[in-house]
A and B are shown apart, each in its own frame.
Chain A
Amino acid sequence: MSVYILALETSCDETACSVIKDGKEVLSNIVSSQINIHSQFGGVIPEVASRIHVENISLVIQEALEKAEVTMDEVAGIAVTVGPGLIGSLHVGVMAAKTIAWLYDKPLIPIHHIVGHIYANKIVDDIQFPLLSLVVSGGHSELVFMKDDWSFKVLGTTQDDAVGEAYDKVARLLHLPYPGGPQIDRLAKQGKPHYTLKTPKTEGAYDFSFSGLKSSVLQLMERLKKQKEEIVEADIAYSFQEVALNMLVDKTMLAVEQYKPKHVVLAGGVAANSRLRSLITEKMESYPNVKLTIPPLSCCTDNAAMIGVSGYMAYQKGLFADLSIGANPWIDIESS
């Protein structure tokens, strides 16, 4: 008999619901994006995001069930992102999931958002262990090593801003609209290696740091202005992107050397970046025995299908929560 998981994801600015069959097949994947609203303000305003989640939540759930043509009787469990993320946003999804779990007497399956991003790769590929995942998004920059299925070790993380956040901040300096990632990616293609930006230092070998890089961009622009030199925005975008992405990819390669994974996967919204895709593909050519998966764009950004795929795994393991569970923005992936 098939196992259907209904999954909810509201950790940031997407209200999403999905139905997943047997942990792999996406029957529906409804995402109601708030990006047009937040782009007016150059970023996500938490209170506004929470308001839109509560406005959309019931319709998104209904659409996901209708599209999947699955009834609640057939659903085995309710998976939901409990963290990390914006507390007010997480609350709405967790409350909705608890309501459904109670109404239909289904197990409630709490899922770590990053686990979702990693397992999103399962939608498009068989995943092999040991696995190394580079998780990059507006909220996260982490290197996660998985010795086996459902075992998570964080090798390194950002010490300040997430890489996506750095993109947004630099985009603002360059007067580009929000979200900054695709804008800088596009502009950098026209840029040349004209400016030098230093790679920020970090404590741990696998840790990242991006706020210093953003400051370097700011200092460079101010210096150029003072010296009445032309500011070539495309060249700034190019240099920023090269430093940021090389830091990510170099540390990933270092981890490949040391941890010898069989499979390397990209995850998170920044995995949509075209330069990151080409850079990691290029570097991985030196490791022909290690499989590389770069998920399609639709799997990279926040969605509930990835929570459903992870939810199926957790369902098999009986990792359920009771109805007194709350959203937890500081949840630790290693305790998943």
Chain B
Amino acid sequence: MLTLCLDTSHKYLSVSIIKDQRILASYDELCFKKQSESVFPVILKVVQDAKIKKEEIDSVCISIGPGSYTGLRIALTIAKVMCSMKRLDLYVISTLKLYANNMKNTYVMLDARGNRIYHALYDQGKVIIEEHVTTIDELNLDRSYHLVGDASLLGLEDQYECISECFLNTKADWEKVDSIHTLIPSYLKSDQEYIKS
């Protein structure tokens, strides 16, 4: 299996080619607001670094959210178009679960703006607290656990694992998508709510 992995759901642009249990080539950089311009030049470079032809890619895996709405649509649009037209397998993983990197007792918190965060707790891929939107004030963290994401919101240092490695380490949790055309990101905020606010 030769998989193109993409994460554009938050602050990073992560592109990697994973063959079975190995990363052939990868790119992981902070990328503020420039993901849509950068993503293809980066894909081109990563495919070249992996010494493969793009025609050999047989599957795509993306993070499906929650995260930045605009960002989520970048990887999703690429994946939907690519997999439907070339008949490739499409896999998704929750952005929070991806970032938890299959580690033991790991909280993930991502800035959802307006003093809110996307939050979840995992234990080696097992969901302990489901992903949800909450406020920082409502957090009650066990200090002995790992904390991944925008920890600076708590006055700590931001903590991120290498996202390409996260894709590799969470491979058992990738979910295969049956209906590519109808796939939508997990925004954690419905159209209806969006309109009311």
Chain A residues at the B interface, C-beta cutoff of 8 Å = 41, 45, 47-48, 50-51, 54-55, 57-59, 61-62, 72, 88, 91-92, 94-96, 98-100, 102-103, 323-327
Contacts and interface: CB of A to CB of B under 8 A. Distances in A.
B54 A55 contact: no
B152 to A, nearest CB: 26
Contacts of B36: 91, 94-95, 326-327
Contacts of B82: 99, 103
Most chain B C-beta atoms within 10 Å of own C-beta, residue among A45, A61, A88, A98: A98
A58 B73 contact: no
Contacts of B194: 45, 47-48
Contacts of A57: 77, 80-81
Nearest to A101: B40
Nearest to B194: A47
Interface residues of B, number: 31
B41 to A, nearest CB: 5
Nearest to B180: A58
Nearest to A47: B194
B108 interface: no
A42 B80 CA distance: 30
Given A50-B70, A57-B81, A88-B69, 17 more contacts: A54-B73, A54-B76, A54-B77, A54-B184, A57-B77, A58-B81, A61-B84, A94-B36, A95-B36, A95-B39, A95-B73, A96-B81, A102-B54, A103-B86, A323-B40, A324-B38, A324-B41
Most chain A C-beta atoms within 10 Å of own C-beta, residue among B36, B41, B54, B74: B36
Nearest to A104: B85
9 contacts: A47-B194, A51-B187, A54-B77, A58-B181, A61-B81, A92-B73, A95-B74, A95-B77, A324-B41
Nearest to B78: A99
The 6 closest A-B pairs by CB, nearest first: A323-B40, A58-B80, A95-B77, A58-B84, A59-B181, A99-B81
Interface string B33-67: 00011111101100000000010000000000000
Contacts of A103: 54, 81-82, 85-86
B81 to A, nearest CB: 4
Contacts, number: 88
Contacts of B44: 102, 323
Nearest to A323: B40
A291 to B, nearest CB: 40
A47 to B, nearest CB: 6
Contacts of B115: none
Given A57-B77, A95-B36, A103-B54, A50 B69 contact: yes
B54 A99 contact: no
A54 B185 contact: yes
A50 B73 contact: yes
B181 A62 contact: yes
A324 B40 contact: yes
Given A102-B43, A102-B54, A54 B37 contact: no
Nearest to B184: A55
B37 A61 contact: no
Most chain A C-beta atoms within 10 Å of own C-beta, residue among B44, B80, B185: B80
Nearest to B38: A324
A54 B78 CA distance: 10
B140 interface: no
Contacts of B141: none
B178 interface: no
B74 A91 contact: yes
B52 to A, nearest CB: 14
A88 B187 CA distance: 15
Nearest to A90: B36
Given A58-B180, A103-B82, A96 B77 contact: yes
Contact of A92 (B77, B86, B187, B195): B77
A45 B69 CA distance: 14
A58 B185 CA distance: 14
A62 B84 contact: yes
Most chain B C-beta atoms within 10 Å of own C-beta, residue among A59, A94, A102: A102
Contacts of B78: 95, 99
A105 to B, nearest CB: 9
A48 B181 CA distance: 18
A324 B85 CA distance: 21
A41 B85 contact: no
B37 A48 contact: no
A238 to B, nearest CB: 33
Interface in B160-196: 180-182, 184-185, 187, 191, 194-195
